[in-house]
Structure formats: C-alpha cells, structure tokens
Amino acid sequence: MKPLSECRLYAFVDTAYLDGRDPVAVAEALCEGGADLVQLRAKDRTAEEIRQLASRLLPVTRAAGVGLVINDHPEVALSVGAELCHLGQEDFFDRGYRHVSELCSGQRGLRVGLSSHAPEQAERAVRAGADYVAVGPVYATGTKPGVKPVTLAYVRWAARHLNVPWFAIGGINLTNLEEVLAAGARRICVVSAILRAPDVRLACRAFRERLDRLVGAP
C-alpha cells in the first residue's frame, strides 16, 4: 500500500450500510473506484465474524495495493495480517493504553489510527504514537448519532498543528468537499456518501477525481 502521507481517500465497508450487498463486492468497487484505504467497520458482528470477513477482504485490498483497516479489533488485524487498525479514544485510552506499541504484543507492522474530536484529543493521539488521526465529525452524520459536529474550525486547527497524516471525517459529500479542503484537509474519510450511492464504484471515483483535481495526485 501507499505510505499514509500519500493516501487521500479513505473508504469503508460498513456492515450497517451494506443493504444486503456482498461486502467483498463492495470492497472491490471501492478499490476500483480509487480508494487508498478501506476500513472494515462491523459494529454488529462478533470478533470472530469480523475475522472471517477480514480474511475475505484482505486478498481484494492487497491485490489492489490498498490498505485494509480493521475497526475496533487490533487482535483481528494482527491475526489476519491487515495493515492497520483504528480505535476511538475510549477504545484506546479508557482501556489503559498509553502508546500504540502496547497493542502489538511485540509484533511489528501494524499501524494504528485514533479518532479525535478536539485538539487535546488529537495531541494526545500523536503523543501515543498514532500513525494517523481522524478529525471529526466535521458535519452531523448518521454514523455518529448524537455526536456534536466539530465544524471546520477543528479542520483548520488540524491543518496548522498536526504533524502526522490526518483525515477529515463525518458527513463529507461532494457538495461540501471543497469547503473541507479549503479549510486545510488533504485527506478525507467518506462513508454514507459512497455506500448509499446507487453505484459504489462510480461514487468513489467521483471523490477520487475531485480530490486529485483540487489537491493534486500524491
């Protein structure tokens, strides 16, 4: 996969948004559409079910040179050989972790991303050795119901202060993408605007082309 610094478009296989579609087919469409990273997010599945699904997705993403991110379950990421895992603040710090190296049990190669909803959380994630930081939700989003948007002000702060790769996330679509980029974002996560589209590959491709035009190819 590309270095994280060169990744622009972070897409998702979110089981809450599959609507009966084959997750492998969705992953294939995301890779064909130009995603740099694909996260498996399965809040409704057991760890073993996620491991089985990740084992099916990994050959697809690896063949495309796309990084596979496992949400919530670093042990699953390690067991299947996924390149990355992603955790929320509560899933990391509230469980007693202080540095991402503690997740890997001496094994190398797993990169870790952490969510953040405020500057102090982003700074804490960087101190903990996060390989990337998610900044959001920028706008209200169904993937984080009840969570107050951080607004573009936080995106502007991240552009000025973060020295690790970071991705704006939350309610981003083709209508508001340009204002997110104008605030300083160079990498974005997109869930529903792609997964709710009639054609996942074409929707992903539209974001890819817009990013390459406005930000430039990595």
160 CB-near residues (< 8 Å, 6+ apart): 184
The CB-based long-range contact list for 190-195 (8 Å cut-off, 24+ gap) reads 190/9, 190/10, 190/11, 190/12, 191/11, 191/12, 191/14, 191/17, 191/41, 191/141, 191/143, 192/17, 192/141, 192/142, 192/143, 194/11, 194/12, 194/30, 194/33, 195/12, 195/14, 195/17, 195/18, 195/26
Q: Which of 8, 51, 115, 208 is catalytic?
A: 115
User: Does 43 qualify as catalytic in the annotation?
Assistant: no
Contact predicate 7/67, CB 8 Å: yes
Catalytic residue list contains 56: no
Q: Which candidate in 41, 51, 124, 187 is catalytic?
A: 41
Q: Catalytic: which of 8, 144, 187, 201?
A: 144
Active site residue 41: yes
Active site residues: 41, 115, 144
